Amino acid sequence: MRVLLVEDDLSISRSLEKALSNEGFTVDAVNTGEAALFLVTRTSVDVVILDIGLPDMDGLSVLKKIREHNKSLPVILLTARDRIEDKVDGLDRGADDYLTKPFELPELVARLRVVSRRLSVRPESRIQVNGVTLDPTANTISFGDRRIDVSGKEYSVLMTLMENKGRLLSRDKMEAKLYAWGEELSSNAVEVHIHNLRKKLGKDFIKTVRGVGYGVGLE
């Protein structure tokens, strides 16, 4: 399950990212509301852990914008505010759960597992192209019976291509997906990830039309 952690306290963020990764979750960590909204709107996220106190905007404002984009994406609020009125306010605004700092890691993990069980009964959402299966619910890629290990950026690129199977996507479109991971890009970043994916999925799986773009499932 892919978790988006939105926490501006670097020590807390690093501790949670490491602990949740050790529990088997895939974690993307950002420290601003703007970065969180960018990821929510451009990548596949299963659950958001959202701190209310962020440097650029109030967490509840971020929650509102998330709900405008996706009404069903699970959101767990983190906050030092422990008044019952604050909890009710957060839940009324669309949060699925609410944790007051400080909290114990097992409690957060237990709540994430509740979300995971709920997600497991979602309708079928797997994407299949020429023997390759991408499962956004489990964040896995398989080729036949073999699971394929890819990096986060490779996953993002491949998901974009498979969601648009049969169409050519420009380099700019692919770069937009990579920028969502919050890092600067080298001039050949797209080519590098396409090259790595071809080594894992076969050189003919991703087609290149020079000067136009990339595509999968092309006729």
Total count of domains within the chain: 2
Name which of 104, 56, 113 is nearest 78 in CA terms: 104
Structure tokens at 113: 């597992």
110 and 209 assigned to the same domain: no
DSSP codes, 19-38: HHHHTT-EEEEESSHHHHHH
pLDDT at 90: 80
Q: How far is CA 81 from the centre of its chain?
A: 27
Contact yes or no for 95/72 (Cβ under 8 A): no
Structure tokens at 124: 């079928």
Structure tokens at 59: 């967490």
133 and 104 assigned to the same domain: no
pLDDT at 180: 45
Q: List, for the chain, all residue ranges whose pLDDT scores fall below the cut of 50.
A: 180-183
Neighbours of 57 (CB within 10 A): 15
115 and 135 assigned to the same domain: no
20 and 96 assigned to the same domain: yes
197 and 168 assigned to the same domain: yes
175 and 191 assigned to the same domain: yes
Contact yes or no for 201/60 (Cβ under 8 A): no
Residue type, 175: E
103 and 183 assigned to the same domain: no
43 and 76 assigned to the same domain: yes
pLDDT at 41: 84
* Structural domain harbouring 40: 2-119
CATH number of the domain that residue 60 is part of? 3.40.50.2300
Name which of 69, 49, 63 is nearest 9 in CA terms: 49
7 and 110 assigned to the same domain: yes
CA–CA dist 205, 199 (Å, integer): 10
CATH number of the domain that residue 145 is part of? 1.10.10.10
The model carries a pTM of 0.56
User: Tens digits of per-residue pLDDT, 199-212?
Assistant: 999 999 999 998 89
Longest CA span, the chain: 59
